[in-house]
Structure 1
Amino acid sequence: MNTIAALAGRILLSLLFIISGMGKLFDVSGTQVALAGVGLTPDLALPVGLFELIGGLALMFGVATRIFAVLLAGFTLLTILFFHHNLLDHTQVVEALKNLAIAGGLLALFAHRQVAWSYDGLRNRRDRESAARDAEMRAARAEGRAEALSEMPVVETPATRVETITDVDGHPTGTVAVARRKWWQV
């Protein structure tokens, strides 16, 4: 039930930004007038609309959920600062509190990121399955190497070898034990 509630909450939060972003993109001139009215440059109308639309879609489908949740929470708090800062007007206070609650919901989404039914969840599950498969392959290879080593015959090689010393004419004059050189001795 928690995953269904988390999915519903994520979709409802995302719809708010998708619809708002589409409204800004369909009425760019109205958005420019609103931005100019609070002292912001009207050139921000298109980027703000695109940001809201893309951020809302990312939340809806669960793509980079935590990043977009924090970015949209910051955006919503900036909206309070620029548009709803008149605390003497009751309507502005209600709008500021609504935006504050939305930012709180986005930060809760960041903190608890229920990733069920999202791209992030699919990617995490795929990464876990891939890591488990890789671990199984490494274990199987190690078992194969251990089994191959246990089946190899053990060959004792002497630590020294005996060489026959000859004189100038090639006649043997005696024997001497020569220690085998190690691989690091040249």
Structure 2
Amino acid sequence: MATIAAILGRILIAILFVVAGANQIMDPERAGADFLSAGLDPSLVIPAAVIQIVAGLALALGFATRIASLVLFVFTALTILFFHRDFNDPAQVDLLWLNLAVAGGLLLTFAYGHLVGSWKTVRARREGEVEANEARAETHQAELDKARAEGRAEGLAEAARGRDDTDVVVERPVVDTDGDGKAGT
């Protein structure tokens, strides 16, 4: 359950950034006006949107989760510093608190996101499962080889004690000398 919660939480945080970046790309004039009112160059709208989309997708997919969450944390901190400085405006204060909560979630993702449901952990788990399956197969084959050897040894021991040779199965190599798939010529 914790794995599902961690993955879902990471995806929900990522959606916030992907949608915001897409909105900035679809309406760069409005976003540029927001940047200008914050004292920033409007030409930064598209690079900021690309950062949000790329890092958001990486976070959602569990690819480079620590780097993506750190990039988005810095982005969110800069957003708080540049866009939510007017403490007399209740709407700005509300957005400041929301962005602080998102920044906290990103720090948690940075701290623990690489441990649960990330691309690396899924791949490592699969590699571990493959290695475990191979080890089980090797163990099974070794047990079969041991049982065959014990059976041969018992058969030879009975033959050595003078029992009927019909009960003993002795494997002899088959040599196909003429290439027709049968022993002999």
TM-score by length of 2: 0.66
Query: How many angstroms apart in 2 are the aligned matches of 1:126 and 1:52?
Result: 30
Query: How many angstroms apart in 2 are the aligned matches of 1:97 and 1:7?
Result: 24
Determine if contact 1:21/1:53 at 8 Å carries over to the other structure: yes
Determine if contact 2:66/2:114 at 8 Å carries over to the other structure: no
Query: How many angstroms apart in 2 are the aligned matches of 1:73 and 1:125?
Result: 28
Query: How many angstroms apart in 1 are the aligned matches of 2:21 and 2:120?
Result: 23
Query: How many angstroms apart in 2 are the aligned matches of 1:30 and 1:61?
Result: 29
Structure with the higher strand share, 1 or 2: 1
Determine if contact 1:21/1:50 at 8 Å carries over to the other structure: yes
Does structure 1 residue 81 correspond to structure 2 residue 113? no
Determine if contact 2:65/2:114 at 8 Å carries over to the other structure: no
Query: How many angstroms apart in 1 are the aligned matches of 2:123 and 2:47?
Result: 29
Determine helix, strand or coil for the equivalent of 2:105: helix
Aligned-partner residue type, residue 88 of structure 1: N
Higher gyration radius (CA): 1
**Structure 2 residues not aligned, in runs of 5+:** 134-185
Match of 2:9 in 1: 9
* Match runs of 1:1-186 below 5 Å: 1-113=1-113, 115-125=115-125
Percent identity reads: 42
Determine if contact 1:33/1:42 at 8 Å carries over to the other structure: yes
Shift of 1:120: 2.4
Determine if contact 1:65/1:120 at 8 Å carries over to the other structure: no
Query: How many angstroms apart in 2 are the aligned matches of 1:12 and 1:51?
Result: 17
Q: Which stretches of structure 1, 4 residues or longer, exceed 6 Å deviation after superposition?
A: 129-133
TM-score by length of 1: 0.66
Shift of 1:91: 1.1
Determine if contact 2:114/2:120 at 8 Å carries over to the other structure: no
Query: How many angstroms apart in 2 are the aligned matches of 1:73 and 1:127?
Result: 31
**Structure 1 residues not aligned, in runs of 5+:** 134-186
Determine helix, strand or coil for the equivalent of 1:85: coil
CA distance 1:41–1:114, change in 2 (3 Å): same
Determine if contact 1:63/1:120 at 8 Å carries over to the other structure: yes
